[in-house]
Every structure is written in C-alpha cells, then in structure tokens.
A and B are shown apart, each in its own frame.
Chain A
Amino acid sequence: MNETNSLIQIKGLRDGLLVSLDDAPWEQQRTALITQVDAQPAFFRGARLALDVSSQVLRVNELVDLRDQLSERGITLWAVISESATTEKTAQLLGLATRIAKPRPEESRQFSVSDLGEETAMFLNRTLRSGTRIEFAGHVVVLGDVNPGAEIVAEGNVMIWGRLRGMVHAGSKGNRAAVICALDLSPTQLRIADEVSASINPREHPRPERARINENGKLQTDFWSNG
C-alpha cells in the first residue's frame, strides 16, 4: 500500500477496533487515519474505535476535531490510550476512556506511597464538574472544586485545594497509607483502598481536613491543625 497506511495498524477487538498510530507528527497521523477510513467506509461505519497514540501529546482541540471527523463518518471514538499524562488528562476531561482492557484480577503486590515516587502526580488547575472521571496511576492534585457527580480514582494520594463534594478513591490499588485532603471535605463518598465511607455532612464552618485509614482499619477524618 502507500506510505500513509504504514503509519497506522488496525486490530479487531471484541467490542470494536483498536487503531495504533506509529510515531509521526499528529497531522500526518490524523490524515492517515481519515484517509484509511474514507477508503473503506463500509468497514468502518458504525464502529467503536479505540485509539492508541503512544507518546503523542494531544490538546483538546486536536482530539475534539478528530472525534467530530470520525463521528461524521459514523464512527464513535470512545477511548484514547496514551503514555502521555497530558493526553490522558485531555481524554478524560472529554469523557473518553483511557484504558480498554477489563481490569485484571486484583494484583497482589503491595504498594506504598513512596513506591509511586514524587514525580508521578497529575495536576488539574480547574474545577471538576459532574460527569468527569479522572483516573491516574499516581497522586492527583486539584486546584479547584470537585463537584457532585465528579470522580477521582488515584493509586496515590489526592489533594483538593477547594471543595470536595464528589467522589474520591485514593490508594485505589490497595494502598492503605494513602490520604485524601481537601479545604472543605464534604464528599458524596470517600474511598481509601477498599474502605468506603458514605457522605460526610457539609460542615457549617469548613476547615482543611484530611481523611486516612486509622489504626483500627477504619476511615477517619481530622481537621488540619498546625502542630
């Protein structure tokens, strides 16, 4: 075939197609994909497509353009898999999945917060609104609110510089040392590792607060005090 087609590989999954893009500038990759689709419209029509962009760093308008172009050809882009944390974040904010495999049976290896290293944090400088789900294999820091209906699932700690009124799961792979901090801790639900606590009533006078698993193995929250 021609050279554009060597940029992409298409694989059938049980519930759709997985398109993997080789390293190349985004514009070339996008053109290659659309060209490929237009060459076999019947094959692609109605498909659910997952896109593996390897280390490509993608911004919102690039993903939105591609999603709309695919949508006009009857293709649903539902997942974007990437090694780049920026791309992963972009995809999640647009409501796209970032993992396609079913979760593997729970891995038994023990995690500790220090294993995650200090560089593996995702920083979100925005309010997370209803319907947003952020999943990250590290810590998550939000400068903004987490509204009801928004979810954060992190393997490490979660820190919210704002009001937490949605759902947060810290230490999602079993790390019981993980903590959740917020300036105003009024979540719909909190989870650390496999401990779950139902909603905490909104505070009359919110103060910075931290949730952790205490010595008795229960979720406990404490106001922050300098001491």
Chain B
Amino acid sequence: MPAKVITITSGKGGVGKTTAVANLAVALASQGHKVVCIDGDIGLRNLDVILGLENRIVYDIVDVVEGRCRLKQAMIRDKKLPELYLIPAAQTRDKNAVSPSDMSRLIKELRPDYDFVLIDSPAGIERGFRNAIAAADRVVVVTNPEISAVRDADRVIGILEAEEKGPAALILNRLNPTLVKNGDMLSPDDVLDLLAIELIGIVPEDENVIISSNRGAPVAFDQKSRAGQAFRNIARRLNGETVPFMSLDHQGGFWDRIQRLAGRK
C-alpha cells in the first residue's frame, strides 16, 4: 500500500510541531510501520537534533533536489528503529531552495516503499509551509491552549480549507489539566469551539518531553511518560485505529467531557 503522507503544521512557532513529528515517527515505527520523516524547516533545521541523528548527516534535502545525491543517500536510518528514516533539512540555505513541485516529486519517489511519510512544516504561512503541504494527503495542526496559538491555527486551517486540502486534524499540545480546572487555561472545549475540526489527540504538559528531546530520544520511547502515551495513541489513530482518549484526571468530570468531545467528528 502506498505511503500516507502527513504534514504537521501550526502557524505559530514553538508549539511543538517538531516534537510531535519526532514522537509520531518513533511511535509509528515502534508499531511496525516503515516511516520517513522530512524536515521541511530549511535554514532552521532541528528534527535531526530531537531524533539524535545530527552527527550522521552527510546529505540533505537540498542536495537531493539539486541533484548532488540520490534520495536514498540523504535518508538517515535511526539508531534504534531500523524502519525509521530522516531526510534532514539544509541548515545553510533558505526555504526558496525547494519548490512545491520539488517536494511533490520527492514524495512520489518515497510513496511506494514506505507506510508513512511525516513532513515537519516550518512556522508561518509562506513558501516553506506551501512546500510542506504541497503533497500532503492529510494535514495535522498542532496548537497550544493559548489564544495566540489558537488564532494562528485558525488562520492555517482557513488556508487549508480555502485551498481545499481536505479537513485538518488537531493535536492540542502541552495541556495542563490543573490550570484548565482552575480556569487559568483554555480548555479543549474552548479550543474546539473556535477551530471546529476533528481532535486527534491531547498531549499533557510533561517535563519528560524536554528532557528526552535534549537527549535525542523522543518521549514516545518512554513507556511511563503520559505525553509519550498520548503520542503513541495519536500514532495509532493516524493508522486508522479507534483509541479511547486517556483519562488524565481520576476524578472524572472534566476528562469524561474530553472523551465525549473526541467522540464527535
């Protein structure tokens, strides 16, 4: 079966796109899928760092596009997961080094041999974003429960709708259940009320995410981490499985409502 091509984007920077890509890639590969992730953030690459593969980079995506190497030569195999590959971005060029049609050609070449291609989009809505969504079958928008991040997510969803890229799915990242309960943070209800798209996962705030990113071993490897569990669940949902939303609060109430929300399309 040809690969599913999924682009992860957000509009606003710093909401956790790259972390999401790394974790979903690790989770999907651990679940036995052949996965390629592509760093679309040319000029500001960091997916390689989060995956702990920085020191293995010889060729990057611009080398492929400009014909200095074959696609396979730019694909770096993960240290732990033999079915996980990274195509790194170039650090010394800018977004204009790659065009949407370059991206489509590259994806076309990958499609027959893999199960998932995950594309890490840069922040913003300019050329790099256009490259990242050019060949996507599905777009996942990451946001935080903050007004500015939600506003930018709304903008990106609007662009995707206007260009008829199909309905986007939402990951709500870095949710702090205690703050929400005290009314100090936007609730998933508030966010979905405005964005009105399918919720595919809620990732709780978890300091292990930062610790593991710095170690170059995404938190999805960590069986004890709540955030890791959330990413593993999202990966299964991307694969078409139905996975109940996990309860982060044992007093029920709030999280029961989330589960009901998640059940609605």
Contact = CB atoms under 8 A, between A and B. Distances in A.
Interface of A: 60-61, 64, 68, 71-72, 93-95, 126-132, 145, 147-150, 165
B118 to A, nearest CB: 23
Contacts of A127: 196
The 3 closest A-B pairs by CB, nearest first: A129-B158, A131-B155, A130-B154
Interface size class of B (residues with CB under 8 A): 10 to 19
Contact of B164 (A60, A72, A129): A60
A64 B154 contact: no
Contacts, number: 50
| Interface SS, A side | loop
B48 to A, nearest CB: 27
A222 B201 CA distance: 41
Interface string B86-112: 000000000000011100000000000
A72 B96 CA distance: 9
A131 B126 CA distance: 14
Contacts of B99: 71-72
A147 B162 contact: no
A94 B99 CA distance: 19
Given A72-B100, A131-B158, A60 B163 contact: yes
Given A68-B100, A71-B130, A72-B100, A129 B154 contact: yes
A149 B157 CA distance: 13
A67 B159 CA distance: 14
Given A71-B130, A147-B154, A131 B100 contact: no
Contacts of A147: 154, 194
Given A95-B159, A130-B158, A149 B164 contact: no
Contacts of A150: 158
A94 B163 contact: yes
Given A60-B163, A60-B164, A129 B157 contact: yes
Given A71-B130, A72-B99, A127-B196, A94 B162 contact: yes
Nearest to A68: B100
A39 to B, nearest CB: 20
Interface in B151-209: 151-152, 154-155, 157-159, 161-164, 194, 196
B154 A149 contact: yes
Contact of A132 (B151, B158, B163, B164): B158
Contacts of B157: 129
Interface in B196-253: 196
A165 B101 CA distance: 37
A71 B102 CA distance: 13
